[in-house]
């Protein structure tokens, strides 16, 4: 393996070649966690790796097979139902500190947050899924600003306490539900060391080849803690050193199944880019600034043979979806027609006619 081939290996690990049939929840479980702050794009991140439609993926979320909550770093993530509790056990405390700190800026201390949790539990009991605004009305809290930072801190704290997660969509609005009404608590618990080691193995098997600093960035844990986790699972991973950097990946890697010609229209914040500390292996030229900003906004990307060659956006019209593309380099019309074949997967997933402009 050489540095320029790492992106090909990552596409295999990230299930972008769809070599086996799998369900939406199996895709999420494979990754451990998938970034999901943009809900519509997050569903396509799952759909691009299996043959499920958008409706099928949304049903998996609504039914609690896939949980959407704040976990890792912290930001919104999809997590498989089987994994939510042990992930909260290992990552919840560091996210909770941020939530508590945010609430304190509005004069809300830990005791008050616990009181809010009791009221939230009562309001949501019996599968009563409510939006954040509806929950804030139950708590008699007015919006503090356009972004409602206090409301966000209160709900993030409740998530880290294992009380709530996202519930069923209410039209286009996100709701919250009681986590225990969607997923039963497990009878056994992992130690923090066991949990971080499990998370590390899941990460390198689904994202590798990747470095220690990549895992540290993705998980939100310190490099020291991540090094201990890698040491614990070293025998279960392969690794290679390139330019004095060690890249770790799963034992299930097979060279003969690696590379194939492919074009993918991937969503904003897709794991193929966002889950790594540095991302130069996915680019052939100096185009990273066109793809993501310094303040963490990632755009939908066009991936050809593992390299980002452009960006795209969708606009929902009455009877169709308009797709606009921007290629980084001059692209012949004949080649564009071949590249646009990659959008058919999205058309099948969304179930709506697509028009490229």
Residues 140-184 have pLDDT tens digits of: 998 777 668 999 999 999 999 999 999 999 988 999 999 999 999
pLDDT in tens, 60-81: 999 999 999 999 988 999 999 9
Q: What confidence score (pLDDT) does residue 103 get?
A: 95
Strands 66-71 and 301-304: unpaired
Tell me the angle at which helices 110-124 and 84-104 cross, rounded to the nearest 10 degrees: 130
pLDDT in tens, 273-304: 999 999 999 998 788 889 998 778 899 999 99
Average pLDDT for 12-31: 93
271 contacts: CB under 8 Å, gap ≥ 6: 14, 31, 34, 35, 45, 207
Per the CB < 8 A criterion, the answer to whether 204 and 215 are in contact is yes
Residue 115 CB-half CA count within 13 A: 7
Asked if residue 209 has a cis previous peptide bond (ω within 30° of 0), the answer is: yes
**How large a percentage of the chain has pLDDT more than 70?**
97
275 contacts: CB under 8 Å, gap ≥ 6: 35, 203, 207, 210, 214, 217, 218
State the Cα–Cα distance between residues 267 and 190, nearest whole angstrom: 33
Out of 3.40.50.1220, 1.10.10.10, 1.10.645.10, 3.40.50.1820, the CATH code matching 18-181 is 1.10.10.10
CA-nearest of 81, 114, 80 to 96 is 114
Domain boundaries, the chain: 18-181, 263-356
């Amino acid at each position: 393996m050489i540095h320029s081939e790492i992106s090909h290996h990552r596409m295999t690990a990230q299930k972008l070649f769809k070599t086996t049939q799998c369900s939406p929840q199996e895709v999420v479980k494979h990754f451990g966690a998938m970034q999901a702050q943009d809900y519509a794009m997050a569903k396509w991140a799952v759909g691009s790796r299996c043959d499920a439609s958008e409706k099928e993926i949304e049903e998996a979320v609504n039914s609690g097979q896939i949980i959407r909550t704040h976990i890792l770093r912290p930001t919104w993530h999809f997590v498989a139902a089987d994994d939510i509790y042990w992930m909260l056990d290992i990552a919840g405390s560091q996210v909770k500190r941020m939530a508590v700190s945010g609430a304190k800026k509005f004069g809300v201390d830990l005791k008050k947050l616990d009181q809010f949790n009791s009221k939230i539990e009562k309001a949501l009991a019996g599968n009563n899924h409510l939006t954040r605004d509806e929950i804030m009305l139950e708590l008699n809290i007015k919006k503090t600003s356009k972004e409602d930072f206090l409301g966000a801190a209160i709900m993030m704290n409740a998530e880290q306490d294992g009380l709530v997660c996202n519930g069923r969509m209410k039209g286009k609005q996100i709701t919250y539900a009681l986590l225990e009404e969607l997923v039963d608590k497990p009878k056994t618990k992992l130690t923090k060391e066991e949990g971080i080691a499990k998370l590390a193995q899941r990460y390198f098997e689904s994202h590798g080849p990747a470095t220690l600093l990549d895992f540290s960035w993705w998980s939100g844990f310190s490099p020291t803690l991540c090094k201990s986790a890698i040491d614990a699972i070293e025998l279960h991973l392969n690794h290679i050193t390139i330019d004095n950097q060690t890249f770790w990946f799963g034992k299930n890697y097979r060279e003969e199944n690696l590379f194939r010609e492919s074009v993918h229209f991937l969503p904003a914040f897709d794991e193929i880019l966002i889950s790594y500390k540095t991302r130069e292996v996915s680019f052939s030229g100096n185009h990273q600034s066109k793809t993501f900003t310094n303040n963490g906004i990632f755009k939908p990307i066009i991936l050809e043979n593992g390299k980002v060659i452009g960006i795209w956006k969708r606009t929902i019209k009455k009877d169709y979806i308009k797709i606009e593309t921007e290629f980084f380099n001059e692209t012949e019309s004949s080649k564009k027609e071949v590249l646009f074949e990659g959008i058919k997967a999205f058309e099948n997933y969304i179930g709506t006619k697509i028009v490229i402009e």
